A and B are shown apart, each in its own frame.
Chain A
Amino acid sequence: EAQVTQNPRYLITVTGKKLTVTCSQNMNHEYMSWYRQDPGLGLRQIYYSMNVEVTDKGDVPEGYKVSRKEKRNFPLILESPSPNQTSLYFCASSLTGDGYTFGSGTRLTVV
């Protein structure tokens, strides 16, 4: 089944403890992207990647890192999480950069 898989689905962590949210797609898509969703703010792009080793900042990149060493994987790294990074995170991939397929989301709570 064609899908975007992100893990974990739920995560509670403490301020300052590094964490990684994994994302993998099995559709051989060029484009991958990370979004965060907060009430009243819609989906805001954190980082996106147009191909292996090619990444660029989105609207809200501060406090996040990404890497694209292989086409299928696009992990999101929070080196030192803070409470304002508590949010619902979505990974997505696309062949053309338009019709993104989204994962099921990761709900992160930083206390």
Chain B
Amino acid sequence: GQQLNQSPQSMFIQEGEDVSMNCTSSSIFNTWLWYKQDPGEGPVLLIALYKAGELTSNGRLTAQFGITRKDSFLNISASIPSDVGIYFCAARETSGSRLTFGEGTQLTVNP
């Protein structure tokens, strides 16, 4: 099946630092999504991207849909303790096809 390679697997940063994580694949996708999972909860959608090259922001979060349609990036600026959690990328080929998730990036923010 399709695979999304997400990196890094984990990050330990100081409060106030910026964070970058990315997701790559050998397959082309038409939709890229970024989710965050808090401990003990289900993932929550952060940002959705629908066009190659698209750059979208949600507060301190910015995500980009790669030009090749095979990758996506998520940046978090000025991190705060509540940013702690697991961040997942997800992608879908076409409308109606199934959604594939990356392995996740575990983010720890030290106050």
Contacts and interface: CB of A to CB of B under 8 A. Distances in A.
Interface in A29-45: 33, 35, 40-45
A90 B45 contact: no
B65 interface: no
B42 A42 contact: no
B111 to A, nearest CB: 26
A105 B41 contact: yes
Given A97-B96, A102-B42, A42 B103 contact: yes
Q: Give the bracket for the number of chain B residues in contact with chain A.
A: 20 to 34
Contact of A97 (B40, B43, B99): B99
Interface in A81-111: 90, 92, 96-105
B48 A98 contact: yes
Contact of B101 (A42, A56, A104): A42
A53 interface: no
B103 A103 contact: no
A105 B49 CA distance: 26
Contacts of B98: 33, 45, 48, 56, 58
A59 interface: yes
A59 to B, nearest CB: 5
A78 B111 CA distance: 43
Contacts of A99: 33, 45, 48
21 contacts: A40-B103, A42-B6, A42-B88, A42-B103, A42-B104, A43-B90, A44-B101, A45-B100, A48-B98, A48-B99, A50-B96, A59-B1, A92-B42, A96-B95, A97-B96, A97-B99, A98-B48, A98-B92, A102-B43, A103-B42, A104-B40
Interface of B: 1, 6, 9, 31, 33, 40-45, 48, 88, 90, 92, 95-104
- Closest CB pairs A-B (n = 9): A102-B42, A42-B103, A43-B101, A99-B45, A42-B104, A59-B1, A42-B101, A102-B43, A90-B42
